[in-house]
Structure 1
Amino acid sequence: MANREQPSIPIQEEETLEKGIDAILEIPMFILAMVMLALFIIEITARLSPQSSRMLLLAQSVIWWIFVAEYLTRVFLAEDHLRYIKEHPADALFIFIPFLRVFRVLSVLRTVRLLQSVHPVTLLKTYVTTRKSLVQLGHILKKRSFAYVVASTLVITLIGSLIMYLLERNAGGTMIHSFGDAVWWSIGIVTTVGNELYPVTAEGRILSTIMMIYGMGIFGYVAATIASYFINIDNPAPTQKSSNITKKEYEDLYSRLNELLAEVKKPSGKQ
């Protein structure tokens, strides 16, 4: 008995379906990623009542299940499932966020001084959540590089604030006592303006240096983009309309020259 071939979706239809799903999910997934990031910051920085903590956990769980469904859908639609998983490790890791609390083996990493004030699971969740937010942001603004840079800078500023708060909150002589202080510090660093707040821990100073370098790079990019915008205003490119007028004038001149040549070549009436 002949084996029946399994029906398959044509590659072109598969790609069309994938693009259609991308177009539908881009903005909702970005909003959920930003909400997840906000909930994560609240979880770490705010003192919540037991009831508020349960509500926060419920909201995180609902968003997490939505991301699980989205991830599995993308894996299913991918032409090469294993390759998709390998090329999107942050998405795969994001799926396991709720289970990170049971990995107590990571406590061994607390021997590193950087991790004595921040639990490694917290650092891992910070990285994965940030990565997810930036990826979703990239999907939406992939053709608008300036908007992507500005929006991603806002995300990085918030994450830098969170990490600085975790590093400095229990340090002796610290000037950063709250998440709000950390945000104010981060804004001053990224905008290269500076402020009266500064870190006292070695780890905080390392982070401050990294954020400062990032801020200088972003400042240069934004300044160049704005300058380019005003240069284009002062020297606009020729429009299609002006090109057509120039061409018409050229044709009229050419026609007039032909007429003059014809007049010159006419034989004289005198013998």
Structure 2
Amino acid sequence: MDAPVPGHPNRLRRWEQRMEAPLFAASLLFLLCYAVHVLARGIDPLWRDIALILTLVTWLAFAVDYAVRLVLSGQRLRFVTSHWLDTVVLALPLLRPLRMVKVYSAVQERRDEPRLSLHARVMTYAGLTSALLGFAGALTVYKFERTAPGATIRTFGDAAWWTCETLTTVGYGDVAPVTFWGRAIAAGLMGCGLALLGAVTGSFSSWLLQVFTREDEEEETGRPPKS
């Protein structure tokens, strides 16, 4: 039996902190290039080729980051299962906004610090995640649905409206996907919508509860509550 390979937690943490902003920018570039590929069908083929190349380059950046973190973790193949969200995002880069779940988990671990900035950050990330994920979902479902027989999603506007309905779990039913991949995307977006809504409401409720508890404790000890 092989001896466990020691990891480098400090180096791993520094790498993740250093790469978070560049990789976020790369994810925006990836989404932009994918949008060009889906929506800009009438432009010069050269620009579509450039968008495709940039899409592959940004995915390669995600793969390099994943490989570096795998090595620094020292977990070998266990890294794939213990960091399943990163593994899924590597396979489907359009889901990269879902890494916000890590931020929410980190905030939840700091329950003793009822600072508005922490919870506001979660709600901000959730809103940004919803926007990016919704845009990616609208692009993808439009790609599969626009030419399908009997489809009701014929334009990108239809796809964007359907995505808003799905993420908010409203579901008016005026437009709906008819292809297999369109319905698979719908199922994923419904799950993401519920999770993001839970993150926002849970974080806000947690902050209110901690503030009220802190004020009650201060009133019992005779100290004026903090503003």
TM-score range, shorter chain: 0.5 to 0.7
Q: What is the alpha-carbon distance in structure 2 between the residues aligned to residue 196 and residue 90 of structure 1?
A: 31
Q: What is the alpha-carbon distance in structure 2 between the residues aligned to residue 89 and residue 134 of structure 1?
A: 12
1:250 is matched with which residue?
A: none
| Residue type at the aligned position of 1:130 | L
Q: What is the alpha-carbon distance in structure 2 between the residues aligned to residue 221 and residue 209 of structure 1?
A: 19
Q: What is the alpha-carbon distance in structure 1 between the residues aligned to residue 219 and residue 138 of structure 2?
A: 52
- 1:178 and 2:142 matched: no
SS in 1 for 2:92: helix
1:51 is matched with which residue?
A: 46
Contact 1:27 1:140 in 2 (8 A): no
- TM alignment of 1:81-230, pairs within 5 A: 81-85=76-80, 87-88=82-83, 128-135=92-99, 137-140=100-103, 142-143=106-107, 145-192=122-169, 197-199=174-176, 201=178, 203=180, 211=189, 215=193, 219=197, 222=200
SS in 2 for 1:237: helix
Q: 1:227 to 1:80 in 2, by over 3 A?
A: closer
Structure with the bigger RCO (C-alpha within 8 Å, sep 6+) is 2
SS in 1 for 2:77: helix
- 1:37 and 2:31 matched: yes
Q: Return the offset for 1:198.
A: 0.9
Q: 1:89 to 1:169 in 2, by over 3 A?
A: same
The percentage of counterpart residues that share the same residue type is: 23
Q: What is the alpha-carbon distance in structure 2 between the residues aligned to residue 89 and residue 237 of structure 1?
A: 37
| Residue type at the aligned position of 1:50 | P
TM-score normalised by length of structure 1: 0.56
Q: Return the offset for 1:192.
A: 4.7
**What stretches of structure 1 of length at least 5 have no aligned partner?**
1-8, 96-126, 247-271
Q: 1:83 to 1:220 in 2, by over 3 A?
A: closer
After superposition, the C-alpha distances for 1:34-59 in whole angstroms (9 at most, x for unaligned) are 32133223323331422102221332
Q: What is the alpha-carbon distance in structure 1 between the residues aligned to residue 70 and residue 184 of structure 2?
A: 38
Contact 2:167 2:189 in 1 (8 A): yes
Q: What is the alpha-carbon distance in structure 2 between the residues aligned to residue 91 and residue 220 of structure 1?
A: 21
Q: 1:151 to 1:85 in 2, by over 3 A?
A: same
**What stretches of structure 2 of length at least 5 have no aligned partner?**
108-120
Larger displacement relative to structure 2 (138-147 or 66-75): 138-147
Q: 1:35 to 1:139 in 2, by over 3 A?
A: farther
After superposition, the C-alpha distances for 1:133-168 in whole angstroms (9 at most, x for unaligned) are 423x34555425544443333343234323432342
Q: What is the alpha-carbon distance in structure 2 between the residues aligned to residue 214 and residue 78 of structure 1?
A: 28
Size of the aligned set, in residue pairs, is 204
Q: Return the offset for 1:181.
A: 2.0
SS in 2 for 1:66: helix
Q: What is the alpha-carbon distance in structure 2 between the residues aligned to residue 213 and residue 140 of structure 1?
A: 18
| Residue type at the aligned position of 1:30 | F
SS in 1 for 2:151: coil
Q: What is the alpha-carbon distance in structure 2 between the residues aligned to residue 185 and residue 192 of structure 1?
A: 10
TM-score normalised by length of structure 2: 0.64
Q: 1:227 to 1:62 in 2, by over 3 A?
A: closer
User: Greater CA radius of gyration, 1 or 2?
Assistant: 1
Q: What is the alpha-carbon distance in structure 1 between the residues aligned to residue 179 and residue 193 of structure 2?
A: 20
Q: What is the alpha-carbon distance in structure 2 between the residues aligned to residue 229 and residue 61 of structure 1?
A: 41
1:66 is matched with which residue?
A: 61
